[in-house]
Amino acid sequence: MNEKFHLLGSEAMAVELPQQFTCPYCYEPHPLALMAVERVQQYVATRGDWADELGAGKMLGVLVAKDETGRLGFLAAFSGNLAGSVHHDFFVSPVYDLLDPQGEFKRVEAEITAINHEVERLERSPELAALLKREATARQSMAEETAAFKAIMAEHKLSRDQRRQDPDVTPAELEELLNQSRFEKAELKRIRQRHDEKLREISEEISAFYQRIETLKARRKAMSEALQECIFRLFVVSNARGERRDLVEVFRPLGTLPPAGAGECCAPRLLNYAYNNGLQPVCMAEFWHGASPVGEVRHQGHFYPACRSKCKPILDFMLQGLDVENNPMETATAATDLDVIYDDQWLTVLNKPSGMLSVPGKQLEDSLQTRYQEAFPEAVGPIVVHRLDQETSGHVMFAKDKATHKALQQQFEDHTIKKRYIALLDGIVTKDEGIINLPLMADIEDRPRQRVDFADGKPAVTRYRVLERKDGRTRIALEPLTGRTHQLRVHCSHPLGLNCPIVGDRLYGRAADRLMLHAARIIFIHPATGKPITVESPPDF
């Protein structure tokens, strides 16, 4: 019996199997996955020796599968390592064990570590410190001697100038004064040359010392790059067709080597183990356990999509051969009439439905913009004034000519356009109103997610007011005072913000039928008439 394959109880037999395998980038966990998650949570609760590490935060995952006899069970995995190891009885094996003390990674890592120590030793060595001190002393000596000689030259020059003004000075004396000036200038040059030669000798010794360090660093870089490719050649993953590729081959179409940590997340481990052990995947889910990392938004027990930078290229290969659910984020919204909230000869305000892109994307051409252009062919030039997230509903403004577009864009840049959003939050906000000020920047390892970063993030400020508290949820009005990507979503969900994710937020909270965030009101100055315009529409939640 496979000890990594944990059979589900009889209650699972009453649950209808999903018709398709889970889309890992956008999903709601299937009831069978929830049963498996509960078992994993029960197990980790018994591991007091892991309590501190898991409490600090860890992504865990489950994959429900059938074995060769048709029995239903699940596999469990954790990302990275746990308690200094990637091998634990309850969880599947890694794709490749980077921590194997006899493995290639540890061997080369030890060599690189030795180089690091040698670089540190050289940079901190008494020999280098003595050379740098000699150089500083030589420079100081040069500065002092040249300054002293220049002072003497200045005194002599003053004396010569006075003597030259004497009407009794003879031609021979003038020649002598000129020769003195020439000699002192030459002597100053000889003083500088003497010191320059000494400094050059010291500099050559220092350069030779630094060259040893740079040679080691170059060797270290070459070894690291070679090791990276070598290791990712050892990360070999399978798909449902029985095809196998290493991660270098998987990422080759992107024109890059895999990023650090690729292949060490839950989803690749789970699928790879299932394929290699004759298990038929049914559904899967990844969930967070413990505290949220600094800057990021992760909530205990919430489910999260697979990351795009490290996992998507791998999973796109590994899922080949499985019948996988469509990604709703890459599926066109059903054809419906445009919901026109305001329209005149200069501009239009549309009510965008949740799930529709504002403008065409890489994977999906259908968007509010393309539909607007079909309905309003007279609109020319840049027409989209601003955008909403795909999952956010509400007002999007379109200009019908270039001048109107420019004028409205200027109002956005000047922060004179006022927007009000209505959101339904998963949790109770205790304060009636307030301001959230958390700087944001893109999470480069997991786009399109954003993270809070007080050092490098851009300013992001949101004003909020509670409208209603009911059944463990809060209806709230949000006014963004800046316009950062995912600003409202992060400000609501982050522990330093409201700590209550927007209902249906797949990235920062819990998935639902839709994201309960609606751009409900926009106030602007009409570019043609100069009059203030207020456009409002209530949310459908």
Q: What is the CATH number of the domain that holds 488?
A: 3.30.2350.10
Residue 173 counted as domain residue: yes
What is d(CA 426, CA 512) in angstroms, rounded to the nearest whole number?
11
First-last CA distance in the chain: 49
* 135 three-class SS: helix
Return the beta strands (E) in 370-455 as ranges. 393-399, 418-426, 433-437, 440-442, 450-452
Same domain, 396 and 504: yes
* pLDDT tens digits for range 418-472: 999 999 999 999 999 999 999 999 998 788 899 999 999 999 999 999 999 999 9
Same domain, 45 and 61: yes
Same domain, 88 and 117: no
The count of domains in the chain is 3
Same domain, 365 and 497: yes
Return the beta strands (E) in 67-215 as ranges. 72-78
Q: Do 69 and 7 form a contact (C-beta atoms < 8 A)?
A: no
Residue 104 counted as domain residue: no
Residue 448 counted as domain residue: yes
For residue 332, what pLDDT is reported? 76
What letters, b where the CB count within 10 A reaches 16 and e where it falls short, cover 375-410? Answer: ebeebeeebbbbbbbbbbbbbbbbbbbeebbebbbe
Token pair for 389: 């997230």
Token pair for 296: 């990021």
For residue 320, what pLDDT is reported? 98
Q: Do 358 and 54 form a contact (C-beta atoms < 8 A)?
A: no
Q: Other C-beta atoms within 10 Å of 304: how many? A: 24
Report, as ranges of residue numbers, the positions in the chain whose pLDDT lies below 50. Answer: none
Pick the last residue of a domain from 231, 252, 278. Answer: 231
* 364 three-class SS: coil
Same domain, 59 and 177: no
Pick the last residue of a domain from 177, 201, 231. Answer: 231
What are the angstrom distances between the C-alpha of 236 and each of 86, 223, 268, 271, 317?
A: 16, 21, 10, 12, 12
* 509 three-class SS: coil
Residue 1 counted as domain residue: no
Q: Considering the entire predicted model, what is its pTM?
A: 0.76
Same domain, 425 and 321: no
Q: How far is CA 24 from the centre of its chain?
A: 19
Residue 143 counted as domain residue: yes
Active-site residue (options: 389, 401, 426, 446): 389
Residue 101 counted as domain residue: no
Pick the last residue of a domain from 325, 350, 370. Answer: 325
Same domain, 464 and 357: yes
For residue 1, what pLDDT is reported? 64
Amino acid type, 156: H
For residue 143, what pLDDT is reported? 95
Residue 138 counted as domain residue: yes
Answer yes or no: 389 catalytic: yes
Same domain, 375 and 518: yes
Same domain, 485 and 440: yes
Average pLDDT, the chain: 93
For residue 231, what pLDDT is reported? 85
Same domain, 196 and 76: no
State percent of the chain over pLDDT 90: 83
Which residues, including other chains, have CB under 8 Å from residue 468's CB and lie 6 or more apart? Answer: 474, 475
Same domain, 116 and 73: no
Residue 106 counted as domain residue: no
Range of the domain at 400: 330-536
Same domain, 224 and 257: no
* pLDDT tens digits for range 154-178: 999 999 999 999 998 999 999 999 9
